[in-house]
Structure 1
């Protein structure tokens, strides 16, 4: 029942031709084999002379602004905590201090 296995999938495509290929086709000595097609890769070199694109400059500026806003918010939270802690300590000191009483003896 399973005499034939699943076909193997490849990226190479077979060129079907009804007539036999001659050696002048495809400029190869073995014309009956399909040509191997490769992809040309491009290499992008970052030139330090050229300025970065406008979208990148804008993105960096937005990131710096967001970072500065986060730092300002963090500093404000820290200052608020310090103020609340100082108030709490002042209240604790006031609670520990004995209340002066007046003698009613005259």
Structure 2
């Protein structure tokens, strides 16, 4: 096993900000895994529900950024599917409305949206 030795003084203090920066960049990359199409679709729907103004566009853009901090794009798409299937009639709709795991996913989105509302609106 190879050891990494830091020389005393300036080299060690220079390494810490670089480590912090790399952690920040990696967390931003995870929060920015939403494709542009998904972000635009959300913003357009949000604007339609809240008014088609420039200020609303800024708030809705902020909102999807906050949601992306809470949920991966894959989880967001799964929740969107669950929510659209809940409107189905019959046994299929009941399954999507009552299955615990699916409801937990929907609850996670609602919590992310609540945080987004507090931070952006």
Specify if TM > 0.5: no
TM-score interval, smaller chain: 0.3 to 0.5
TM-score (norm 1): 0.33
> Which structure's relative contact order is higher, taking Cα pairs within 8 Å and 6+ residues apart?
2
Larger Rg: 1
Which has more helix, going by share of residues? Answer: 2
